[in-house]
Structure 1
Amino acid sequence: MHKTKIRPAAYRPLQSQARATAPTRWPPRPLLLLFLFTAAVAAGATAATEKASGPPPSPTPWPERFHAVMFTNLTNYSVASTGPPLRITDLYYDWPRRRNLNLVRHQLSADPLYDVEWNNGTSFYFDSSTCRVERFPVGVLPPWWLSGGGAEYMGRGVTGGIECHVWGKAGFIVYYEEAGTGRPVRWNFIDVTGIEQFVMSFEPGVALEDDEQWQAPAHCFPDDDDEEEEQGEGNDHVASSSETAVWDGLEAASRILRKLAGAAATS
C-alpha cells in the first residue's frame, strides 16, 4: 500500500510563505501627496464651475439724481472729427424732475455747450450765440433703462484698470459697471458713431439746483417771423453751417440715448 507523505508546515518553501504573508503597501509618499493635491484642485474647479453656472449679475439701476464728470472721445466719428472730438462733460441727471443736462466743454474752448433734455422729448443745444432745438418721440432715460430688461451680460472685463461687469443692449451700446460698487465706468456706442464715454467721477444724490442753468436762452426762441420761416424750410434748427459738425457729434449721442429710453419704456 502506497503511503502519501505529508510535509509539516515548517518544510513548505520559504518563497510561498513570504508571498502569503506580505503586507499591503501604500503608494510612496510623494505620489500620495500628488494624488491629494490633484483631488483638491479638481474639487475647487468643480465648485468654481458650479458657481459660474449660476444666474448672471443684474445691472445696477442709476440713482434718481447724480452728477458725473465724463470724458468723451469722438475721434472715431467721421462727422465730429471735423470739429472738436474731445470733450469733458458735466452730466446732471435729475429723474424726479424728468430732466437731464450735459454741460460740454470742448478741448481748448472757453464757450461751453449746453445740452438740456426734457421728458417731453424736447432737447436744447446751445452756447452763448447759437441754438438748436430737437424734438424726439421719447423722453429722458429712466434709472432702469439698463436693469429693466433687454441687457445681455457679456462677462467681466477690465477698463482703465477697473474690474467691471459688462453688458450690451439693443445692439448699439456696451456698458461697463464697476464690479465691486455698481458705479458706471464707461459706455461705448458700437454703431457707426463709435462714440466712447468714460466716467471720471460719480456723485449719487447731487443735483443742480440753479434753474438758470436749465433754462434755454432767448436766442433759442426766435421771433414769430423767424419761426415761420424756419417752419417753411421744414426744420427745427437754429445754427450756422460751420458749426454743424460740432452739433452733430453731440446730437448723435443724444439720439442713441433717446433710443435707449424708448427701449426701456417698452421693455
Structure 2
Amino acid sequence: MAFTRHLLLLLAAAATITATAATDDTAPSPPPSPTPWPDLFHAVLFTNLTNYSMASTGPPLRLTDLYYDWPRRRNLNLVRHQLSPDPLYDVEWNNGTTFYFDSSSCRVERFDVGVLPPTWLSGGAAAEYMGRCVTGGIDCHVWGKAGFIVYYEEVATGRPVRWDFIDVTGIQQFVMSYEVGVVLEDSQWQAPAHCFPDEENEQDTKEEEVADGLEAARLLKKLADAAIAF
C-alpha cells in the first residue's frame, strides 16, 4: 500500500512537471530587442534614388561615409555623388547645429534635436518588431520606427544592414561596410572658413546653395524627437 501511494505521488509529480514544460514550450517568446549602436563606428552606405524622382534634386547615386561619435556627441556624413570630385560634408553637433559644405559653399541649419543616441531605435517611442526576412542574402530582424523608417539588423551579429524611409522620398540606404571603434580625426570635423563669413560677404554667402542630397540625414534628425534625450 505504501509502495502504491509512493508510486502515485511520483506519477502526479511527473505529470505536473510535464504540464509545466508543455506550458513553457507553448508560451510565446518575447520579440528581440534592437542592438544599440556602438559609441563609435564608421559605416559606408550606398544610396540609390534612381527610382524616386521626388527624393532628391541632386544626383541619385551616392556613397556616404558615416562616422558616428557619441562620446563627443557628433555625427558626420561624407557624401560622394557619382563621378563627383567634390565630396559634400554633413557635420552634425548635439546642440542642433549642422554644417553642410563642400569646397566652395556652405549652409548652416539648426534643429531642435541633436545627435541620435545609441539607443535611438529602442528609446522613446519604441520600435515595433516586424519579424525576420532575408535581404541581400542576409538574415535580418526588422523593426519599424515612428511610422516612417524600417530598420534591418543582421540576426547573427546585430550589425545594421539597411534602413528604408517609407515617406514620399522612398530612400533606401544599404550598409556596405561596418567598423566599430573607428574615430575620424578632429580636423575633418571642422567647418571651413567660408562657413563663417565676415560681415561684408555674409549676405552673398547666405545666398549660396550647397548641392543637396542630404534628405536621409534630415529624416534621421526627425528620429531624434522619438529617441531618449541624453
Q: 2:103 matched to 1:121? A: no
Amino acid corresponding to residue 173 of structure 2 in structure 1: Q
- 2:40/2:180 contact within 8 Å kept: yes
Q: Deviations over 1:9-29 (max 9, x none)?
A: xxxxxxxxxxxxxxxxxxxxx
Structure 1 position 142 matched with structure 2 position 117: yes
Which ranges of structure 1 fall in alignment gaps of 5 or more residues?
1-45, 231-235
Match of 1:61?
36
- Gaps (5+ residues) in structure 2? 1-21
Q: Is contact 2:45–2:177 with CA below 8 Å preserved after alignment?
A: yes
Q: Deviations over 1:128-162 (max 9, x none)?
A: 11111111010001000002252000000111000
Identity %: 76
- On the 8 A contact 2:39/2:70 being kept in 1, the answer is yes
User: Is 1:50 aligned to residue 13 of structure 2?
Assistant: no
5 Å-filtered alignment, 1:161-180, equals 161-180=137-156
* Structure 1 vs Structure 2 CA RMSD: 2.3
- Match for residue 191 of structure 1 among 167, 171, 182: 167
Residue of structure 2 in register with 1:257 after alignment: 220
Residues 91-126 of structure 1, C-alpha deviations (whole Å, 9 max, x = no match): 110000000011111111111111100001011111
| TM-superposed deviation, 1:225 | 3.6
1:262 alignment partner, SS class = coil
The separation in 1 between residues aligned to 2:207 and 2:140, in whole angstroms, is: 41
The one-letter code of the counterpart of 2:38 is P
Q: Deviations over 1:158-216 (max 9, x none)?
A: 110000000000000000000111000000011111111000011111111x2221000
Give 1:107's aligned residue.
Answer: 82
TM score, norm. by length of structure 1: 0.72
Contact 2:55 2:171 in 1 (8 A): no
Distance 2:216 2:207 in 1: 19
Quick one: distance in 2 between partners of 1:184 and 1:223? 42
Supply the distance in 2 between the matched residues of 1:132 and 1:103 (Cα, whole angstroms): 15
Shift in CA distance, 213/238, structure 1 to aligned 2, threshold 3 Å: farther
- Aligned counterparts of 1:167 and 1:143: Cα–Cα separation in 2: 16
User: 1:121·1:138 contact (CA, 8 Å) conserved in 2?
Assistant: yes
Q: Is the 8 A contact 1:76 1:193 kept in 2?
A: no
Asked if residue 220 in structure 1 is aligned to residue 220 in structure 2, the reply is no
Residue in 2 aligned with 1:204? 180
Taking the aligned partners of 2:54 and 2:166, their CA distance within structure 1 comes to 16
Secondary structure at the residue paired with 2:72?
coil
Q: After TM superposition, where is structure 1 displaced by more than 3 Å over at least 4 residues in a row? A: 79-82
Letter of the structure 2 residue corresponding to residue 186 of structure 1: R
Letter in structure 1 aligned against 2:76: L
Match of 2:11 in 1: none
Mapped contact 1:132–1:238 kept (Cα < 8 A): no
Amino acid at match of 1:93: Y
Whether 2:63 is the aligned partner of 1:88: answer yes
The TM-score normalised by the length of structure 2 is 0.83
Larger radius of gyration: 1
SS in 1 for 2:228: helix
Q: Which has the higher contact order (CA 8 A, sep 6+)?
A: 2
Give the Cα–Cα distance (whole angstroms) in 1 for the partners of residues 207 and 75 of structure 2: 21
